[in-house]
Amino acid sequence: MTRVRKKDDSAEVRKVTWVGLGWNAALSVAKFVVGVFGNSQALVADAIHSASDFVTDVAVIVGSHFWNSPPDAEHPYGHRRFETLVTIGIGLAVAAVGVGIGYNAILALLAGETSHPERSVAVMAFASILVKELLFRYTRKAGKVIRSQALEANAWHHRSDAFSSIPVLVAVIFAILLPELWFADSVGALIVAFFIMHSAIEIAWPGLRQLVDYGANSEALEKLKKIALSHPKVISLHGLRSRYVGSDLHVDVHIVVDEEMTLKDAHDVAEEVEMLLINSDENVVDALVHIDPYNAKRANQDDIKTIEK
């Protein structure tokens, strides 16, 4: 039986993302202006990072219109892979920004470029850290509540921006207090690049794993096993498999029932087990339950129920 997603979370995703988009736009403009007039390459680099947040916010907003679409003839399992693609896209966009910032910082160091940032740059960097950390907490909380992989990825993008502003702040303070450290600002920009690349890997990795159909961890599978076995007419089970599609979990399982059970009763048990799995808190949206008749002579030791009725 095909199940659809329990709740369309696209409206909530867009609401949270619009908040981040507005702050990212304001921060990127403010940091760029202050960085240019305050003579800070590191803050300009950080402004570009905030601008990349703006781009990924747009990607999440646009993508959310697609991944909650109901199944159709061309996508019988739904459209949640769009969420996976958006997540990977965010990671690649962040990586591109990190490479660009690092390249420019290295060129500046090799050229011996000097800069003497103004105090306004330090104030802007501190404000950015505060705002982006608040955005991270707000977005991640919403992502966990509605179990949105793309929203959680975007939250970590906010956190990476907050982290990247820390070396900017430190480098600017050193450059202001110790003018002889002509390279401090460029080094700060280079450190920002490393933070961004690390963030890119963390963002893209879950999506890349989904492209090879990775499933739930052993703890979640054990929980689903106990849920299925909790049905009074299920004797045992085997062949429990799962795979993620976006942030949704699809499950297949073979349950063993009394071989004397009528076809209708066995069908009803399968339906009830499906609903038990779908109503769990593991975000199962599709459960395919296969019925096997129990025969004491053919019973496998692995099929023996491991929990008390």
- Taking only the tens place, the pLDDT of each residue in 187-242 is 877 887 887 788 788 778 877 887 777 788 888 899 999 999 999 999 999 999 99
Cα separation, 160 vs 50, whole angstroms? 10
The segments of the chain whose pLDDT lies below 50 read: 1-6, 301-304, 306-309
What is the structure's pLDDT at 297?
53
Q: Which residues make up the CATH 3.30.70.1350 domain(s) of the chain?
A: 218-303
Q: Is 228 exposed, middle or buried (0-12, 13-18, 19+ CB in 10 A)?
A: buried
pTM: 0.60
User: What pairs with residue 284 in β-bridges?
Assistant: 249
Which CATH number describes the domain made up of 218-303? 3.30.70.1350
What is the structure's pLDDT at 300?
55
CATH class of 10-210: mainly alpha
| Span 142-173, pLDDT tens digits | 888 877 767 777 787 778 778 777 877 887 78
CA 53 to chain CA centroid, Å, is: 14
Q: Which residues make up the CATH 1.20.1510.10 domain(s) of the chain?
A: 10-210
How far does the chain reach from its first CA to its final CA, in angstroms? Answer: 26
